Amino acid sequence: MHNDYDNTEYIGDNRGLELDADTDADTDTFSEPEAAISNYAALAGKVVSDPEFSHEVYGEGFYIVQLEVQRLSQTYDILPVTISERLMGQDNIHLGSFLDVYGQIRSYNSYSEAEGRNKLVLTVFARDIEVLDDFPPRNTNEIFLNGYICKPPVFRTTPFGREITDMLVAVNRSYNKSDYVPVITWGRNARFCGRLAVSDNVMLWGRLQSRPYQKKYDDGRIEDKVAFEVSASKVQGSEARD
């Protein structure tokens, strides 16, 4: 694994917070990707922002749109999706468009001058998209990751008695690169994941979620932020160590 997460605050730290009731909803109904795929994301929803230019690689431009994806609880996650101009083509993706997106979760470091540190930013990198005529007929938010624990998992119990484990999972890419994905697990999965060690292999299925939170600084300032993390409902991994 290529480790570039040291001294990085990943935007997914949820210690001491409660999430809504469907964070541990069963998502085992979606099709399991082939074993060779280590990073798979499928989303469907409504575009709630105009495409914003992100960056260019070898003359190919990439744009970010915010996709509103409905939960079973009728609430929504607002998730960033990165789309190549070549995929956008003549589809005229704009505010209010409905999209099916298939791709991978990607991470990158964004330096904050105000805080003097890097932040790990997540996006869904679209490999294929389909513009729909209307709102998607079903709630699609499906994630599969096959990666490695790259920070000691943190097991905790909330004030309401819910067992939670926070993890950071590295998913390898080509050319000695990796994506680092914050993951949260619940209940018996949390107990299992809390006993995993750095470098253990883990496969997980779940959904990508957005979560508003407030960050408190030493000088008393409070800033509203949004965290992105995978809420895993199914986990397979190495045997837990005693």
* DSSP designation for 238: S
**More confident site: 48 or 212:** 48
Contact assessment for residue 66 and residue 93, using Cβ atoms and an 8 Å cutoff:
no
Tell whether pTM > 0.85. no
pLDDT at 223: 84
Banded pLDDT at 24 (limits 50, 70, 90): very low
Residue 187 and residue 215 in contact, taking contact as beta carbons nearer than 8 Å: no
Domain boundaries, the chain: 8-237
Do the bridges between strand 98-112 and strand 141-149 make them parallel or antiparallel, or are there none, so unpaired? unpaired
In tens, the pLDDT along 84-132 reads: 999 987 667 889 999 999 999 999 887 666 667 788 889 999 999 999 8
**Architecture of domain 8-237 in CATH?**
Beta Barrel (2.40)
For the chain, percent of residues with pLDDT exceeding 70:
80
Q: Residue 133: CB partners within 8 Å, gap ≥ 6?
A: 98
Contact 125, 63 (CB under 8 A): no
